Structure 1
Amino acid sequence: MVRETTPYYWEFLGRKYWPSLGPGYNAGLILFHLKRIRSINWESVWSDSLQYLSSKLVELPTAEQDVLNRIAHVHGHTLHDLPCTWNVQLGAFSDVTLCPVTWSLTSKAANTVKSTNTKELKLIHFNAHLKPEDVQPKRFRWLKPNIDSRAVMKFDLVRKYFIVYNAFRELPQSCWS
């Protein structure tokens, strides 16, 4: 899993919601090492962690992510800390300065990035309560993608996300059958 980049959880809610290592981990991308998971009796560990959290909290604000953070806290050997580029989080309170990246939408930009120290985004996670169709049902026609290699700001990431998201939405249904 990738470390959480939304300070809201540890700054405003406090540790009582995050029985975790540091700021906790975001469950937007999870890669399980199945051999390690099986070695700890996963079903029992999950159940014990859920019961523990349920006894301490009225609700789990981030649902299964709270349970996964508890498991990572208690069974640290089961956790593999992925680079932040594998889960760049775009929630309303996410802090992109915790994971400065660029997102190349052209081969020219990708080649330029290779010659710099800028990290290339691998996976983007729109972890917000409102989804693209809730806030912008129509394609942004006025947006022009930034093609240089500088680390991009949150607005640029969101803008590019909408461009790619809407491009996929406009594909004919026959492409998916």
Structure 2
Amino acid sequence: MLGMCRGRRKFLLASLGLLFIPALTWLYLSVGSFQVKPLALSSLELQSVSQLGEGGDRQALERRVRAMEEENRALRRELSQPSHRLSGSGNRRNHSRNHSEEGTGDSEGQRVGANASDCIHQPVVDKCETIHVAIVCAGYNASRDVVTLVKSVLFHRRNPLYFHFITDSIAQQILSSLFHTWMVPAVRVDFYDADELKSEVSWIPNKHYSGIYGLMKLVLTKALPSDLQRVIVLDTDITFATDIAELWAVFHKFKGQQVLGLVENQSDWYLGNLWKNHRPWPALGRGFNTGVILLLLDRLRKLRWEQMWRLTAERELMGMLSTSLADQDIFNAVIKQNPFLVHQLPCFWNVQLSDHTRSEKCYKDVSDLKVIHWNSPKKLRVKNKHVEFFRNLYLTFLEYDGNLLRRELFGCLSEADHNSENAPDVGGTAVSALRSGL
């Protein structure tokens, strides 16, 4: 039994030996065919290797390599720091140079933004563009009122002005003498004989205190020069609290067939609920007030404005018999039929101080006020919770010396726009033009 076990162990060892010899042979051949490529070392590392010699300690070599890598990292950090400081100082020098050359410490992007903002806020009206203003004025009372209006306009203005006055002989004499006395530069004045326009509107019965002259704004397309394209029309009981050029700029906002710029009426007159059996002329909503009007004369003429308002007035007078608010009733009746004609202005362009007014909703601060309209027969005696402020503003210009308005507009010629001079005969004779400075 013991002999059999010994025989088996010998056989097992012999078998393992036979298997182990081929395995060693294969391993030897595999190792012999494998080539180890040396790592590429830097010149400093090669120098270190040569110093250590081929038989140097392997661990010492690894420590040396790690030390050299740390030194390289430290060297790169040191080299990078002066570079940043240099570029930073260069930027500061460039920034300082830009500051001295441009006169500002802002970056280029900020300057571009500022320029863009300036472009947005640039005024639409050119510095020397002539602004045309038309006013109907007749009699002594209207002449006194219009003087206060003109003073307020001249006080705030920054542009050349061209006044077109539709007057009777009394108002013409007063205003001619006044403008000749003031001698205000860059102001031009033309007069048109209102008597020659009376036949155009005398057939319309009118209950308004302005009488027949309160209807003459309807015929401005015929009365004013044919080459005059746009004009601001004002009542005599207006006081300006801002530069009229701001209002002139609104013309650029007209779109499509809009030819009239008007502020909504600030009373309930056209709603017909002020008293029992109150029957006003037809109007769009509250209607519009004609104390301040922007007129595109060239487009109105193309639309045959004269025929349009005449047909409307004739039709409505068959039932209404007369106008209560003069030209305003007819303007509103036309707009009721043709709402596309009107461009609604913000209400601060015509703050109406009439009875039953809602004008206090147009402003929250003094800076919101643009134009004040004393459109009540009571005028300065009208009831309004802010009437004292408005009255003081009016009295300021009433007592203002017109000679103090004699100031030059720098950069503009003293003569007004020659492209809008009156024709010698404009549906009524243009009376002798008075040019300031002559």
1:22 Cα offset (Å): 0.6
Structure 2 partner of 1:161: 390
The one of 263, 267, 279 aligned to 1:2: 263
Structure 1 partner of 2:401: 172
Q: Deviations over 1:35-56 (max 9, x none)?
A: 4312220110121121122111
Q: Following TM superposition, where does structure 1 have runs of at least 4 consecutive aligned residues deviating by more than 3 angstroms?
A: 13-16, 172-177
1:12 Cα offset (Å): 2.0
Matches within 5 A, 1:18-33: 18-33=281-296
Structure 1 partner of 2:314: 51
Instruction: Give me the whole-angstrom Cα distance separating, in 2, the residues matched to 1:50 and 1:176.
Output: 42
Give the number of aligned pairs: 142
Note closer, same or farther for the CA distance 1:101–1:36 as it changes in structure 2 (3 Å cut): farther
Q: Any conservation in 2 of the 1:85–1:99 contact (CA below 8 Å)?
A: yes
Q: State the structure with more CA Rg.
A: 2
Matches within 5 A, 1:26-175: 26-104=289-367, 120-132=368-380, 135=381, 154-156=384-386, 158-172=387-401, 174-175=403-404
Instruction: Give me the whole-angstrom Cα distance separating, in 2, the residues matched to 1:68 and 1:95.
Output: 21
Note closer, same or farther for the CA distance 1:88–1:173 as it changes in structure 2 (3 Å cut): closer
**Root-mean-square deviation over aligned CA pairs:** 2.4
Q: Any conservation in 2 of the 1:46–1:71 contact (CA below 8 Å)?
A: yes
1:19 Cα offset (Å): 1.1
Structure 1 partner of 2:280: 17
Structure 1 partner of 2:413: none
From the two aligned structures, give the one with the greater strand fraction: 2
1:73 Cα offset (Å): 1.2
Note closer, same or farther for the CA distance 1:12–1:36 as it changes in structure 2 (3 Å cut): same
Instruction: Give me the whole-angstrom Cα distance separating, in 1, the residues matched to 2:265 and 2:391.
Output: 22
Instruction: Give me the whole-angstrom Cα distance separating, in 2, the residues matched to 1:46 and 1:32.
Output: 14
Q: Deviations over 1:62-93 (max 9, x none)?
A: 11000000111112222111111111111121
Single out whichever of 82-91 and 166-175 deviates more from structure 2.
166-175
Letter paired with 1:131: K
Instruction: Give me the whole-angstrom Cα distance separating, in 1, the residues matched to 2:285 and 2:269.
Output: 14
Q: Any conservation in 2 of the 1:89–1:127 contact (CA below 8 Å)?
A: yes
1:2 Cα offset (Å): 0.8
Secondary structure in structure 2 of the residue aligned to 1:124? strand
From the two aligned structures, give the one with the greater helix fraction: 2
Letter paired with 1:123: V
Q: Any conservation in 1 of the 2:264–2:287 contact (CA below 8 Å)?
A: yes
Q: Structure 1 length as normaliser, TM-score? A: 0.70
Q: Any conservation in 2 of the 1:37–1:78 contact (CA below 8 Å)?
A: no
Q: Deviations over 1:113-149 (max 9, x none)?
A: xxxxxxx1211111111122xx49xxxxxxxxxxxxx
Q: Any conservation in 2 of the 1:5–1:98 contact (CA below 8 Å)?
A: no
Instruction: Give me the whole-angstrom Cα distance separating, in 1, the residues matched to 2:405 and 2:376.
Output: 26
Instruction: Give me the whole-angstrom Cα distance separating, in 1, the residues matched to 2:310 and 2:404.
Output: 41
Query: Which consecutive unaligned segments of at least 5 residues does structure 1 have?
Result: 105-119, 137-153
Q: Any conservation in 2 of the 1:102–1:121 contact (CA below 8 Å)?
A: yes
Letter paired with 2:375: N
Structure 2 partner of 1:115: none
Q: Structure 2 length as normaliser, TM-score? A: 0.30
Query: Which consecutive unaligned segments of at least 5 residues does structure 2 have?
Result: 1-261, 407-438
